[in-house]
Amino acid sequence: MKKGILALKVTITQNITGFVGKKDTRLTCSFNVEKYQSLISVSITAKNEADKYATYTPIAVFKPQQAAVLTIPGDYLFGRVTLTNVTNLFIDAAIRFDTLECIDEKDYMCIYNYFDKNDAVKKERSEPTRILIKASSTKPDSISSFKVSSKSDTITNRQLNPDANSLLFLREGETVMFTCTGNIGKPPGKFIWQKTSPLQKEAVIYHTKTTVKEEMPKICSLKGTSDLTLQISANDLNAKIRCFEESQADVPGMFIETSLLDVQCEYDLLLLSVPVKHVNINKQPNKKRHERLMDNIILTCEGSGNPEPTYLWFKQDNKKKILSRTNLYVINDVIRNNTGVYICEASNIIDNVQYRKYNSVNIDIVHATYAIPVTCAVVIVVVFLAVRKSNCKRHKKNVPDDTVIYSEVNEQTKLKYRWRKNLTTAVQPDDVQHDSTDGAEEVARDPTLKYNMITGKLLYTDV
């Protein structure tokens, strides 16, 4: 084909933007026609826009009067794109995406191969273009809070884990850092913080820096985190801290917030006596089960009240033994014997009356696996099978079918008894008694005794 389809200037659809799932997105290569030049083929090429060292690779090839085809690198498009064939009447080459996916976010370029008037092969390239996939932000995933500093506590950076159905207990003057995480969309947005309070007419708005934590490739979006640090004041009583992505500000329900802040004022603490309450226990590491021989387990107890509470630690199975007289108890010996329920008692005295509150935490230190007993059992079984195989060979050579060689049965009986005894000793506690095979111990002690498998009786024989 050397007449009618000629190319000098090549163009491609510029800067396509769409959300995941967008339908009927077209990427079109066009060219001007001049005489005495004829088209060989058109290639639509692509490269990963994030890789600056990547090269453009053909993903679709169009030839005059032939069906357009996807190349091997473009095989990921199979089943979700439509290719426009190049003909005498329609000279544009195009890919129509039925639906956009994350993988379609690439840089694209058209390359035209043609014969010039001297029949020399030439190439003409278009300017690059890009398909940019966008993603909407969603309601934040979580909001958490940490005490950074406190006038009365020695523990810092403790997660408070706010519950929507409970109060978040704080003291006036404490510094608390709130953290919000979630899907911030693409291009990435940022989180906005609000403080709403019945003591304030308008919400207080805070703008903080939002940091992108990680990509979310399945939804072509980004996950972000934002921190807000506040010093708690008396005006924060019954306030809530709220977080949302800025583009969702006017969308109902697209925010997450803390529970009510229960602020205990410093002035009230000086004048008002408050019995101990709100006893909480923090466990580090915070696991349901703890492996044996780990470094340690740290238990921290905190209660509120005025005067400041004092603390006692003890185990449920031995309440007379005091483990600690501070709010901190460390289990340094992480062994099975230290499994159990640990109780913290917080107390204070008002007008010669002692007030007590308790809380408890279960510590489960898991057993080590029975590797050694299992190995011994396997070895014993292998030996048993070897002896049995040897006995079968001798039995076929020397003994009639209805006769049992009692000495061999005796050896197998002793072996079975030793095997069961070893397993019992290795796996079960020492103070548990077990039944052995009937007659096995007596057979093992006396070499003149033989066990008759047919009659089930012990016989005296000459050795």
Tens-digit pLDDT profile for residues 236-250: 888 999 999 999 988
Residue 5 in domain? no
pLDDT (0 to 100) of residue 198: 84
Higher pLDDT residue, 443 or 321? Answer: 321
pLDDT score recorded for residue 82:
94
373 has a pLDDT exceeding 70: no
431: left (phi over 0), alpha (psi -120 to 50) or beta: alpha
d(CA 89, CA 92): 9
Residues 259, 288: one domain?
Answer: no
pLDDT value, residue 304: 85
What is the chain's mean pLDDT, rounded? 78
d(CA 43, CA 60): 6
Look at residue 348 and give its three-state secondary structure. Answer: strand
Give pLDDT, residue 49: 80
Residues 351 and 394 in one domain: no
105/133 Cα distance (integer angstroms): 6
The pLDDT value recorded for residue 272 is 67
How many other C-beta atoms are found inside a 10 Å radius of the C-beta of residue 281? 18
Q: Would you state the pLDDT for residue 68?
A: 94
- Residue 61 has what pLDDT? 96
Counting residues of the chain whose pLDDT is more than 90, the rounded percentage is 38
If DSSP codes are grouped into helix, strand and coil, which group holds residue 236? helix
In a domain, 24, yes or no: yes
Token pair recorded at residue 81: 């794109």
In a domain, 351, yes or no: yes
State the pairing for strand pair 23-31/129-134: unpaired
| Average pLDDT estimate for 124-148 | 90
290 belongs to a structural domain:
yes
pLDDT band of residue 117 (cuts 50, 70, 90) is: confident
Question: Does position 408 have pLDDT exceeding 70, yes or no?
Answer: no
Q: Which of 270, 285, 316 is the last residue of a domain?
A: 270
Residue 389 is predicted with a pLDDT of 55
Say whether both 149 and 266 belong to one domain: yes
CATH of the domain at 217: 2.60.40.10
Look at residue 208 and tell me if it is in a domain.
yes
Given a cut of 50, is residue 402 above it in pLDDT? no
428 and 400 share a domain? yes
Is the pLDDT at 141 greater than 90? The verdict is yes
Please write the tens of the pLDDT for every residue from 19-28.
988 898 999 9
DSSP 357-420: EEEEEEE-BPPPP-HHHHHHHHHHHHHHHHHHHHHHHHHHHHS-TT---HHHHHHHHHHHHHHH
Domain that holds residue 419: 371-460
- Express each pLDDT in 418-460 by its tens digit: 545 544 444 444 443 333 344 444 444 455 555 555 555 555 5
- Check pLDDT > 50 for residue 6: no
The yes-or-no verdict on residue 106 having pLDDT over 60 is yes
Which of 208, 235, 270 is the endpoint of a domain? 270
Q: 222: Cβ–Cβ under 8 A, 6 or more apart, which residues?
A: 135, 183, 184, 185, 186, 188, 212, 214, 215, 216
45 and 80 together in one domain: yes
Same domain, residue pair 203 and 259? yes
Model pTM score:
0.52
Residue 192 lies in a domain: yes
Q: What is the maximum span of the chain, computed from C-alpha positions, in angstroms?
A: 118
Q: Which of 32-36, 184-188, 217-221, 379-383 has the highest mean pLDDT?
A: 184-188
Q: Are 378 and 336 within one domain? A: no
pLDDT at res. 419: 43
Pick the more confident residue, 123 or 53: 123
- Please indicate, yes or no, if residue 17 is contained in any of the structural domains: yes
Same domain, yes or no: 161 and 280: no
When mean pLDDT is compared over 202-211, 375-384, 434-443, 447-456, the highest value belongs to: 202-211
Q: How far is 283 from 313, CA to CA, in rounded Å?
A: 14
pLDDT tens track for 45-98: 999 987 878 899 999 999 988 999 999 999 999 999 999 988 766 678 999 999
Average pLDDT over residues 278-303: 88
**pLDDT band, residue 385 (cuts 50/70/90):** low
CA distance from start to end of the chain? 106
What pLDDT shows up at residue 89?
A: 61
pLDDT on residue 57: 95
- What pLDDT shows up at residue 429? 42
Residue, of 385 and 387, whose pLDDT is higher = 385
> Cα(280)–Cα(344) distance, rounded to whole angstroms?
9
- Burial letters for 407-441: b for 16+ Cβ neighbours within 10 Å, e otherwise? ebbbbebbbebebbbebeeeeeeeeeeeeebeebe
Domain count across the chain: 4
CA distance 111 to 59: 11
pLDDT value of position 409: 46
Same domain, 31 and 112: yes
Q: What is the pLDDT of residue 450?
A: 53
- What is the arithmetic mean of pLDDT over 339-352? 93
Do 392 and 450 belong to one domain? yes
Shared-domain flag, residues 252 and 309:
no
pLDDT at 197: 86
Residues 246 and 285 in one domain: no
Classify the C-alpha dihedral 238-243-248-252 as positive or negative.
Answer: negative
